[in-house]
Structure 1
Amino acid sequence: MSDTSVYQPLRAGRSLFVPVRGLRYHVTMWGDTSLITPERPALVMGHGYMDVGASFQFLVDALARLEGEVRCVIAPDWRGYGLTRPDGADSYWFADYLGDLDGLLASPELGLQANQPIDLLGHSMGGNIVMSYAGVRDQRIRRLINLEGFGLPATKPSQGPGRLAQWLNELQTPQVLRDYASLDEVAQRLRKTNPRLPADRAAWLARHWSEQGADGRWQILGDPAHKRPSALLYQVEEVLETWRRISAPVLWVDGDETNLVQWWGDRYPRSEFDARLSVVRQVERHTLSPCGHMLHHDQPDALAALLHRFLA
């Protein structure tokens, strides 16, 4: 694949590692903390399942086209993704992502001032993380953006023993991810998952989404242990109590081609999510078109326009 077919970033991010809770946390940062003002705080972006922080590059560039390179943007690789690599993890716990975010924001190495408000964005899994975080650290959040962080279907206590048994069984089962012969194959895999992703963006993402192993093959930068289900049931009422405590204005954005049925069948209809979101005090809702789940890849310019207005 020639370099001319690879996306060329408008605003280059830099890579840094920050000590957080015993981990060497990898962060992509655009700009620096000297850009932060009360009117334009740092924008922290949390990626989704099997993604990486650098995935927001196209959205960062679209924002820069609208407002210039005036905003400090920070995107961590959650633990077990990208270059944030816990040693010997065999499963992951949702609360750890909140702990990591809290530790990251307080880290002297990152350079944010103590208790300095931020703007916080999350996509998919990251959307669920930031919603919970904003409910328990509400004074730290100035504006909150949730990109298709729907949460999960409701569960019943009777499902608990079966879930625990499943978790125990899967701890005994090695988890693997497919590897690829070349970066071209990684890019093709990205476009197979999301046919809306342009070829040049897929080629750029492939270089941040994978790395070459000693055998010459390309490995996805996601711990296969993420494939194991949580041992804990998703507690909707507990989550909603957290959402009710969000004091920041919330921007909700989804894609018109996102289909919840493909993930959960009839266990979690869209009407149920709409009812959940109604508990949040201030919500501005938008739907992008044509657009699927990867909004920041499918419609970065339209999404940037929404962010630009919402964060102003």
Structure 2
Amino acid sequence: MKLNHTVTGPDGALPILLVHGLYGQGRNLGAQARRLAQTRRVVTVDLRNHGDSPQDDRADYPALADDLADLIGDLGGRVDLVGHSMGGKAAMVLALTRPDLMRRLVVMDIAPLAYAHDQTRYIDAMEALDLSLVTRRSQADAALSAQVGDAGIRAFLLQNLDLKASPPAWKLNLTALRAAMPQIVGWPDDMPAGRFAGKVMALRGARSDYVDEAGEAALRAHFPQVRIVTLKDAGHWLHADDPEAVAETLAAFLGDGQGD
């Protein structure tokens, strides 16, 4: 599958590929892309069933990883890979199955394990909106507030609403994402451990519970060389909560793309 993606920054060094999380799209990582593109070639991507990328019934991690592998092939065959949440899991699956495709790996606020929470409540909320009555984003926000109380999460979800369509429509493939939710919040049983020898950083938000003691243990089991960094002023959406700190931490870890 050919994924929609945007390339910025100078040619030359190894590209940095930024991968968003569930219900997101490439532009969610725009602040980090702009900072990194000062010195590196940066690629932001829409995963399948998100943004402007194609839609498909499959939304499991092997499929997401295969899509990323195809994109990396088009980009020259090797990248520094950064993934948030669902995108971080896809990045870890790729690192463990195709370690040759990346130099360094960053996973943001996620661990290689199955989570007990379920994100289908947001699908319920989006599907409950009568989009035929919506002409402005403010209308959709008001209607969505009945089921999603957090204004920040509503704004995040509403980035996926295409008001130019007639009638307005969600860019997300909600049907496929609902069906795949057990796989999305889960972790593939057959993943090998310790196969990626490159440098790994796990960046987590202090106000998030996604990477607790069990998450740390899972990260170290799969990536023994992992460096875990905590941002004190951030939650799960750390790239939105503290964009500058995330960008500078990424820039320092990824460097100029040379060496190992």
TM-score (norm 2): 0.78
**Structure-to-structure mapping, 1:76-87, within 5 angstroms:** 76-86=45-55
- Structure 1 vs Structure 2: percent identity of aligned residues? 22
Q: Gaps spanning 5+ residues in structure 1: where?
A: 1-19, 156-174, 261-268
Q: Cα deviations across residues 97-155 of structure 1 (Å, max 9, x unaligned)?
A: 11111111223xxxx33x3x310000000000111101122122111000012244379
Matches within 5 A, 1:71-110: 71-86=40-55, 89-107=56-74
Aligned length: 236
d(CA) in 2 for partners of 1:176 and 1:206? 12
Per the alignment, do residues 177 and 30 of structure 1 end up closer, same or farther by CA in structure 2, a change over 3 Å counting? farther
Measured after TM superposition, the shift of residue 310 of structure 1 is: 0.6
Q: Which has the larger radius of gyration?
A: 1
**Distance in 2 of aligned mates of 1:308 and 1:61:** 11
Partner of 1:150: 111
Provide the residue aligned with 1:17 in structure 2: none
What's the offset of the Cα at 1:36? 2.5
Q: Which residue of 2 aligns with 1:6?
A: none
- Is 1:214 paired with 2:166? yes
Q: Which of 213, 216, 232 is the aligned partner of 1:271?
A: 213
Structure 1: distance between partners of 2:53 and 2:61: 16
Residue in 2 that maps onto 1:294: 237
Gaps of 5+ in 2: 117-125, 256-260
* Partner SS, residue 103 of structure 2: strand
Counterpart CA distance in 1 for 2:182 and 2:114 is: 15
Match of 1:9 in 2: none
**CA 138–229 in structure 1, closer or farther in 2 if over 3 Å, else same:** closer
1:250 & 1:223 partners in 2: Cα distance? 31
The TM-score, its normalising length taken from structure 1, stands at 0.66
Give the Å deviation of 1:187. Answer: 6.7
Paired letter, 2:46: D
**CA-CA distance at 1:206 after TM superposition:** 7.7
2:92, 2:112 within 8 Å by CA — same for their partners in 1?
no
Distance in 1, matches of 2:35 and 2:73, equals 28
Q: Amino acid of the residue matched to residue 270 of structure 1?
A: D
Q: 1:148 to 1:231 in 2, by over 3 A?
A: closer
Structure 1 runs of 4+ with >6 Å offset: 187-191
Which deviations, in whole Å up to 9, do the C-alpha atoms of 1:253-311 show, x marking residues without a partner? 11111134xxxxxxxx9222121111213111111122111111111110111111111
